Structure 1
Amino acid sequence: MRLIEIIYAILALGLLWWSFFSKKQNWKIIILLLSAMLFLITLQYKVEGFRWQMIPLYVVPIFLIFFLRVNVSKKWLKITMSISIFLFTVIAVSLPFIFPVFAFKEPTGKYAVGTTSYTFVDHDRLETYEKDPYSKRKLAIQIWYPVNKDEKGKFAPYISDIQPIAKGLKKALHLPSFLFQQLSLVKTHSMLNVHVSPEKSNYPVLIFSHGLTGFRNQNTFEVEELASHGYIIVGIDHTYDAAATIFTDGSSAEIRFKNLSGFDELDSHITLWEKDVSFVLNELEKLNKNDRKNLFINRMDLNQIGMFGHSYGGATAVQMLMKDDRIKAAVNMDGTLYGEKIEETGVEKPLMIFNGEKSIDYNEYKKTLNQADSQLDKPLSYYENNWKETTERRENALANGGISIEIPHTSHMSFTDFPLFSPFFANKGEDPRYVHEVINAFTLHFFDFHLKNKPFHLNQLKKAYSDIKVSE
């Protein structure tokens, strides 16, 4: 809960209990406290913003006004009211904690962070998701970048337009869209449209690709940290495969994700994402020469580009590492390696793969299959072969000096912001803040080594995070 919410909750619930069970009611104090509550509601709405999780607490003054004169002298009524108010208190306090307006940790680098967005249209590609046969592929990107610590600016919201994103997450996660409304109140550490730090002439570039049904902001915990250490990060929304894409003109494209299944379909579809990344790389070259915002002219070191991604975006990062000479190193966060098959000799360029403990645990996979047994539309052997193929592809990718990292208590969504959305999205025993710290530490050292020629103190990281399984 946020500060004003906490103050209001203490006042509202305290008055609720006291007014019902105090032997003597002081109306002057009650009216004074009710007035204070109404003031706090107004202040909280203006300063912190309304959210549905606070509704039970918002209605306390109304409840008190109408029911303050209820006589609870009878024992049975007193017991009933006590139980009711206790249950109400539990629900009223729990909701804001279960679906919090969370805060991202302050980035640890020497720079503050700036952010801005662009919309690019690829006039050489048709948009296959749209019915219009002449529609061109349009992409939205968001850039995070280093700025001076003394820079002043307006901080960007986590999500600028929550409605399309909430609808997309509803389709992706099969949860009511209202559960995500509070994300519009989450603040970031990124300032809008401020100037890139002049401390260095240019900065290496990292491309970020979300997972299927994800969105470009889904790893804000990571992109802000990397930007604070001197990287320009470009997050791509893969239009219609993202939960929603918000373009710079305010329009949006909601998810139309095709129900892809099996390696053949997913191997084929990833070419769309590869073309997206290639196109964005081309546009960055133009932006580096002529930026209408006058932010990035000659500020991007396009000779030092890395890529990282989650899930399908992680698989895309590996494909781009193999196929595009501009990508010098890549990090895959728990992504099955769809796309062109990797030879047993491995990938020729630096690669690091994060694995969720549950994602590579065969017993966990079997348990999931057994739980979904009645809903499986294919023979069990099909899923067994999928597991074998997934394992083989991962082993091939790591064969030529790749680094594999397994983080305890993690599953697929642990490598995103999602566990911060609600404790329900975290695994038993998982500390999302710690997991994010580990991801940031290893990712930063990996890219620092390969793009900035800094030492890669892998053994020091192993000691610092002794519970993490690292294989080279």
Structure 2
Amino acid sequence: MRVFEILLVVFNILLLGWILFAKNKTQRGLFTLFGISAIIMLVHGVIEGMRWPMIPAYVLTAVALLLFVIRSKSKSDKAKGQSTRKRSTVKLIFVTLLTVIYSAVVVALPLMLPVFTFEKPRGPYKIGTVTYDWKDNSREEVLTPDPNDKRELMVQVWYPADAQAKGKVGVYHSDIKVFAEGYSKVFHVPKMLFTSIGYVKTHAIENAEISNAEATYPVLLFSHGLTGNKMQNTYQVEQLVSHGYIVVGIDHTYSSTASVFPDGRVAPLIQEENKSIADLDHANEQWVGDAKFVLNQVERLAANDPDQRFTGRMDMNHVGMFGHSFGGATSVQMLMTDSRIKAGLNMDGILYGQRRIPEEGLSKPFLMMSADSTVEYIHTSTDGPIDMKKEVLPRFDNITKGGNYWMILNKIRHGSFTDFVLFTPVFQLMQGSDIREIHDLISDYSQDFFDHYLKKKPFRLLEQKIGEHPDFTILHDQI
């Protein structure tokens, strides 16, 4: 809950308690307290913005007024006899019970559907961001029936910003109605449960000046998971950017939660029915094509940005890629097929794609991060359209070959790698661990990996933590 939300809820609950239990209540005192409540609600609405989970809190003042009237009437009737006094006592108990239940709802709703915040980035850089709409006229859009459609992608770039940068701070989602609809499809719950996300802000300043602290910055591509979106790992992206990286996030159109184009067009989520591992391998080729196209566009920006922001500022000799789930699989495929990608990170992605990791391992630096629950699922699942143990498990045989790393995080789930678990405490309880600590762990080891291979810095964590630990295990084959 936000500051004025907490203040409003606490004040009104105390107000109800005063009405129910305090003696010698005056009409003047009542109006004074109601006035304070109204002022708090007004300030909350102006500064923070009103949202539907707070509706019970908004009407609490009216409920308190009603209870005061009932209480006053009961007090005036107490001389009517013993039976009347008994009825008045029962009424008071009943009203008190209803008030307690109502107050619990007032507190629970905004807590269960919070306006969550991202941790302040720990690096020395502020964060700037800019968004692009890029169309690949060489590729048809295979997910729409129109044969004239070309593949069009929304891409967001985060970059180290000037220390004096000021401006509008970007929101997490620019069109919450569209994304609430998409999340409703993904999680199979009413879209109204996601509207509070529209108030979430990031730390990125829109169109900020790029920092001159370094001549150039390494570039990282980010690919989301199926049904995810380019914003889904903001906690991780912001930490990386604050430590001197330019991150390029790709929305894989029609496979993302939603894509909103500058002219207002919306590409909704199309949930394809991939019946076999061959279907998923084939579908991944489109994502690889997206990544290659975006990297081509980034090279053009680095050479000649029309806005002059990135011209000569992107270190295209040190490019990495990371992704979650299907985007993690895409990162592995790009690592194997695109010479421009120097290092790759796969976060809990099944190794879908047309190419297998060779027996000698990848010839480039690679870090695999997995949830222990996912590893167990791959080892044991034989039901469903894909026999994981038979068809998928062998693809993991050579992950660490050639000196690479496999980090298995304990007591977490597939979604733990994303922001989605911040949406509600219900999701966080399902993880079984402190999600903020998990996110810090993922961000720290991601940065350590890329710092070593793209910035040539000594390892701080990865190499020193090989083996089993309470929160994770790192597997590593020496070259």
TM-score (norm 2): 0.92
Write the distance in 1 (CA, Å) between the matches of 2:337 and 2:32: 70
- Who is 1:403 aligned against? 405
Aligned position for 1:375: none
Q: For residues 282-361 of structure 1, what are the structure 2 equivalents within 5 Å? A: 282-340=296-354, 341-361=356-376
Contact 1:202 1:298 in 2 (8 A): yes
Q: State the 1:465 CA deviation.
A: 7.1
Q: Is the 8 A contact 2:351 2:395 kept in 1?
A: yes
Give the corresponding residue for 2:16. Answer: 16
1:444 is aligned, of 447, 452, 473, to: 447
2:146 is aligned with 1:142:
no
Tell me the equivalent position of 1:434.
437
Q: How does 1:224-243 map to 2 (within 5 A)?
A: 224-243=238-257
**Cα distance in 1 for residues equivalent to 2:67 and 2:6:** 24
Report deviation, 1:24: 2.7
Cα pair 2:467 2:474 within 8 Å, conserved: no
1:471 matched residue in structure 2: 475
| 1:81-110, Cα deviation, whole Å (9 max, x unpaired) | 222111111111111111111111111111
* 2:142 corresponding residue in structure 1: 128
Query: CA, structure 1 residues 34+305, in 2 after alignment: closer, same or farther (shift >3 Å)?
Result: same
Partner of 1:190: 204
Instruction: Tell me whether 1:81 sits opposite 2:81 in the alignment.
Output: no
User: 1:261 deviation in Å?
Assistant: 3.0
Q: Greater CA deviation, 62-71 or 446-455? A: 62-71
Alpha carbons of structure 1 residues 315 and 384: separation in structure 2 relative to 1, 3 Å: closer
Structure 1 segments unaligned to the other structure (5+ residues): 370-379
Which whole-Å deviations, capped at 9, do the CAs of 1:410-445 have from their partners, x for residues lacking one? 100000001111111123531110001000110001
Structure 2 CA distance, aligned partners of 1:217 and 1:201?
Answer: 27
1:248 and 1:387 map into 2 onto residues whose CA distance is 44
How far off is 1:241 after superposition?
0.2
Contact between 1:140 and 1:248, CA under 8 Å: does it hold in 2?
A: no
Letter in 2 for 1:65: L
Residues 365 and 22 of structure 1, relative CA distance in 2, 3 Å threshold: farther
Look up the equivalent residue of 1:346 and give its one-letter code: G
Structure 1 vs Structure 2 CA RMSD = 1.9
Q: 1:94 aligns with which of 108, 119, 123?
A: 108
Give the superposition deviation at 1:125. Answer: 1.0
Instruction: Name the structure 2 match of 1:165.
Output: 179
C-alpha contact (below 8 Å) 2:130/2:157 kept by paired residues: yes
Moved more, 251-260 or 383-392: 383-392
- C-alpha contact 1:54 1:95 (8 A) present in aligned 2: yes
Q: Is the 8 A contact 2:363 2:402 kept in 1?
A: yes
The 8 Å contact of residues 164 and 244 in structure 1, kept in 2 or not, is answered as yes
Deviations 1:247-287 (A, max 9, x none): 23343211113122321110010000000000001111111
Give the deviation of 1:66 after TM superposition: 3.5
Which amino acid counterpart does residue 376 of structure 2 have in structure 1?
A: D
State the Cα deviation string for residues 370-405 of structure 1 (Å, max 9, x = none).
xxxxxxxxxx55568323332221222333322111
Q: Secondary structure at the match of 2:407?
A: strand
Whole-Å Cα distance in 1 between the matches of residues 170 and 383 of structure 2? Answer: 48
Deviations, residues 194-230 of structure 1 (Å, cap 9, x unaligned):
1110111211100000000001000000000000000
Separation of aligned partners in 2, 1:384 and 1:130: 26
The one-letter code of the counterpart of 1:332 is N
1:40 and 2:40 matched: yes
Note if contact 2:276-2:386 (Cα within 8 Å) is conserved in structure 1.
no
Decide whether aligned partners of structure 1 residues 92 and 411 sit closer, same or farther in structure 2, where only a CA change above 3 A counts: same
Structure-2 change in CA distance of 1:462 and 1:397 (3 Å) = closer
SS at match of 2:36: helix
Please, which runs of 5 or more residues in structure 2 have no aligned partner?
75-84
Shift of 1:365: 7.9
SS of the aligned residue for 1:288 comes to helix
Identity %: 39
Whichever residue aligns with residue 141 of structure 1, its letter is: V
Which residue of 190, 193, 207 corresponds with 1:179? 193
Letter of the 2:452 partner, please give it: F
8 Å CA contact 2:379, 2:388 repeated in 1: no
Q: CA-to-partner distance for each residue in 1:5-35, whole Å, 9 max, x for gaps?
A: 1111111111112112323322111111111
1:263 matched to 2:277: yes
| Structure 1 residues 382 and 425: CA distance shift in structure 2, 3 A | closer
Name the counterpart of 2:393: 391
- Residues 291 and 249 of structure 1: CA distance in aligned 2, closer, same or farther (over 3 Å): farther
Partner of 2:77: none
CA 1:266 to 1:463, structure 2 compared with 1: closer, same or farther past 3 Å? closer
The letter of the residue matching 1:397 is: I
Supply the AA of the counterpart residue of 1:407.
L
Question: CA 1:384 to 1:240, structure 2 compared with 1: closer, same or farther past 3 Å?
Answer: closer
- CA-CA distance at 1:331 after TM superposition: 0.5
What amino acid maps onto 1:334 in structure 2?
Answer: D
